[in-house]
Chains A and B, each alone.
Chain A
Amino acid sequence: MAEIGALRRGLTFWRRSIQARVVVSTVLLSAVVIAAVGWFLLRQVQEGLVDHRRDAVLAEAANETASANDQLDDFIGVDTDTSRQLEDLFAPLRDAGTARGFQVVLAGPIDAGGPLATQGPRFSPDDLALSSVPDALVVKMSTASKPQWTYTRITTTDEHGERVQGPGIAVASQIVLPADGKTYTLYYLFSLEEAAETQALVTRALLTAGGLLLVLVAILTWLVTRQVVTPVRLARRVAERLAAGELQERLRVTGEDDLARLATSFNQMASSLQKQIRQLEELSRVQRRFVSDVSHELRTPLTTVRMAGDVLHDARVDFDPATARAAELLQGELDRFESLLADLLEISRFDAGAAQLDVEDVNLVDVAHRVVDMTRALADQRGVAVLVQSPDHACLAEADVRRVERIVRNLVTNAIDHAESRDVLVRVEGDDQAAAIAVRDHGVGLAAGESAMVFNRFWRADPARARTSGGTGLGLSISLEDTHLHGGWLQAWGRPGEGAQFRLTLPRRAGQVLRQSPIPLVPEDSQELV
């Protein structure tokens, strides 16, 4: 788990950091280029060194062979003792080898055939291993007459008796010994140790230089990207603060480069945003002020009218029937006008975003009983029985009790209105996440698609239907706004002829996100039909 966590953090860092990506990719690319260049250089150096040495070695070998041949010419007719002649031939070569740093092996005669060891060679120095002369060269020399050469590894025994290997060149050339007229082969073994050492030195130097170059590239890229990324990160931080509402936040502009111009543009954007938001705030403030003013200006004359209407209404027994009826109508319509005004003002408060929550722990069971008590008069008038079904425990939610009561009252009066004299059931349920109230009626119900429209302002199920309760048409819209203010749900379910159910769900804690409601939206008694 820890590894996965670390891996995820690493990946997140990789995804988020431009700097890291730029540095890593630059370093990788540079590493490839440096490796290619280094390899090429190394090859060049190697070839230069070895070729030079080979040429020198070949020339030297040819030289030695020539002087040996000269010497052999002197032997012609002088001496016929093979081993003496060989010794005479070999001795100067050995001396020359010791002096100039090469080894000599004299083998032959060539028609003896077989491996070198069986050909009775003479060689110097004594610590040289015969295996230093590659068999392939020996075989080749048994047929060729021209000098041959090849790379080999020279094996010697050092003063401690240990075998030491080193790179070398083996050159072979043939001579004919006058004593027996047979062909002998001379092998010169030249060490390439020096060239190898030079090459190792160059390799080390190149590796070090390459490594340092990579570090330099990494640091450079890091610095350069930092110069670009730092302002971008600053801009991000400022943008975050702007988003959080700190509209006065600005970037510091230094210089005139691209980043400075980015900062300038960014600041201009912030200023223009700030201006627009201020304007909107001002508009909202003006709107709120307007609502408040309209409220005051309308309410005072309405109060007078209301009182006058009441006086007339109280005195209607003294009027002639037509005037008395007029006084009654005036009274009734004043009530409607009043509630309509109140609802309109409430809606405009929501629209202006001026509605405020005053939360405390509210027991929805209590709310349901209170609302049912309040609406008893209306229910009795319609011949509707309103029943409350609630659990033994309290169904708590952090809410504004005034608003919740208003929502539930709206739902219950609505249900009574549409119940068509059948029972209305108010069901309350709650758990530690949410509390809910569902109001179920068995009236006309809702047609398909209407369950979303019921919350629209001034929406009516059937425009031709009589306005029985004199509702304002804003009740459910206000309820929905009230619910949204709590972060709750207000949903409707309905089927033609089966009635409807409205469900209010409130989160247990204010600000909590609702996941599910303790009461199903579709009532149980209807579920088999779904």
Chain B
Amino acid sequence: MTAELASKGRVLVVDDDASLSEMLTIVLRQEGFESRVCARGDEAIEAFREFRPDLVLLDLMLPGKDGIDVCKEIRDESGVPIVMLTAKSDTVDVVVGLESGADDYVVKPFKPKELVARIRARVRRLDAPTHEALTIGDLSIDVAGHSVTRDGQPVNLTPLEFDLLLCLARKPWQVFTREVLLEQVWGYRHSADTRLVNVHVQRLRSKVEHDPENPQIIVTVRGVGYKAGTS
């Protein structure tokens, strides 16, 4: 009967630990996600192309190819949300993972509900879109079409970056603290790692700013957070 149930989404699990992968599959199936397992880093991109998942769960330590490299490969092809599974919460690993394109990370050992919450937050954007047209700086945002254009030229953003930009653009008068952004964009109820926000704002700036060193569209408000540029 599960086959008839409309899948909430497709998740590719890239992890070399067979038991964990199987357990993840079980939990994800219970939550209504369809999943496939890939155990090797060098086979991940093939599996990705074949399975066309809505989200990738990616372990950082993989045989064949490093998780960071897999992350970069997938990001080159697609903006599909990537959630890293990491055993290390040390600064460097997490930041390198986020900089290579991961949207979010979960530190092992995680609670299954926590993981599912993270996955839901990343795939919820499949919900019905609203018809809205916004501008931020010299960018125009088509909310329904999930596209951002500058002078008619499309700017290529991942869904997370799109959400982040949208969040700022919807309330240009408001300064968003990192905690608020974590809640609105990532779906965290409790305070989490604010490095997520920092890294993704940097990535977003590198795509939308004319001069990322001197940002005009996403402005830092010292000691508080970020807001949309006034220009």
Contact = CB atoms under 8 A, between A and B. Distances in A.
Interface of A: 292, 295-296, 299-308, 310-311, 338, 341, 356, 358, 361, 370
A307 B108 contact: no
Given A304-B17, A304-B20, A338-B109, A311 B27 contact: yes
Given A306-B111, A306-B112, A310-B112, A300 B20 contact: yes
B24 interface: yes
Given A295-B88, A296-B61, A307 B112 contact: yes
A408 B110 CA distance: 24
A164 B17 CA distance: 123
A357 to B, nearest CB: 11
Q: Which 7 A-B pairs have the closest CB atoms?
A: A296-B87, A299-B108, A303-B109, A302-B109, A299-B87, A303-B108, A307-B23
A482 to B, nearest CB: 15
The residue in A304, A305, A306, A356 that gathers the most chain B C-beta atoms within 10 A of its C-beta is: A304
A361 B88 CA distance: 26
Contacts of B30: 311
The residue in A292, A300, A305, A310 that gathers the most chain B C-beta atoms within 10 A of its C-beta is: A300
B146 to A, nearest CB: 33
Given A296-B61, A299-B108, A304 B19 contact: yes
Contacts of B91: 356, 358
Contacts of A303: 20, 23, 108-110
7 contacts: A300-B87, A300-B108, A303-B23, A305-B109, A307-B112, A310-B113, A358-B91
A303 B13 CA distance: 14
A437 to B, nearest CB: 18
B26 interface: yes
Contacts of A307: 20, 23-24, 26-27, 112
B48 to A, nearest CB: 22
Interface in B26-41: 26-27, 30
A302 B17 CA distance: 12
Contacts of B26: 307, 311
B51 to A, nearest CB: 22
Given A303-B108, A303-B109, 6 more contacts: A299-B109, A303-B20, A304-B17, A304-B20, A310-B112, A311-B27
Interface string B191-210: 10000000000000000000
Contacts of B23: 303-304, 307-308, 311
Nearest to B21: A304
A356 B17 CA distance: 30
A139 to B, nearest CB: 111
Interface of B: 17, 19-20, 23-24, 26-27, 30, 61, 87-88, 90-91, 108-113, 191, 223
Contact of B88 (A296, A301, A306): A296
Nearest to B19: A304
Given A303-B20, A304-B19, A311 B88 contact: no
A212 to B, nearest CB: 73
Nearest to A370: B191
A301 B21 CA distance: 11
Contacts of B112: 306-307, 310-311
A305 B17 CA distance: 13
A310 B88 contact: no
A300 B27 contact: no
Contacts of A370: 191
A37 B184 CA distance: 100
Contacts of B191: 370
B7 to A, nearest CB: 20
A299 B61 CA distance: 13
Contacts of A358: 91
A361 B223 CA distance: 9
Nearest to A360: B223
A477 B30 CA distance: 41
Nearest to A306: B109
Contacts of A292: 88, 90
Contacts of A356: 91
Nearest to A335: B111
B117 to A, nearest CB: 13
Contact of A295 (B17, B20, B87, B111): B87
The residue in B26, B108, B109, B110 that gathers the most chain A C-beta atoms within 10 A of its C-beta is: B109
Nearest to B30: A311
A303 B110 CA distance: 6
A341 B90 CA distance: 15
Nearest to B60: A296
Given A295-B87, A300-B20, A304-B19, A310 B111 contact: yes
B113 A302 contact: no
Contacts of A296: 61, 87-88
A431 B20 CA distance: 51
A300 B17 CA distance: 8
A307 B25 CA distance: 11
A304 B18 CA distance: 10
A371 to B, nearest CB: 11
Contacts of A341: 109
The residue in B24, B26, B108 that gathers the most chain A C-beta atoms within 10 A of its C-beta is: B108
A302 B108 contact: yes
A330 B61 CA distance: 28
Contacts of B87: 295-296, 299-300
A370 B177 CA distance: 15
A510 B48 CA distance: 47
A408 to B, nearest CB: 14
The residue in B23, B30, B87, B223 that gathers the most chain A C-beta atoms within 10 A of its C-beta is: B87
A301 B19 contact: yes
Nearest to A349: B90
A364 to B, nearest CB: 16
A300 B27 CA distance: 16
Contacts of B109: 299, 302-303, 305-306, 338, 341
Contacts of A338: 109
Nearest to A300: B17
A151 B223 CA distance: 103
Contacts of A305: 109
Contacts of B24: 307
A38 B112 CA distance: 103
The residue in A296, A299, A338 that gathers the most chain B C-beta atoms within 10 A of its C-beta is: A299
Contacts of B19: 301, 304
B20 to A, nearest CB: 5
Contacts of A295: 87-88
A358 B193 CA distance: 13
B63 to A, nearest CB: 13
A114 B223 CA distance: 116
The residue in B90, B112, B223 that gathers the most chain A C-beta atoms within 10 A of its C-beta is: B112
A307 B61 CA distance: 20
B21 to A, nearest CB: 9
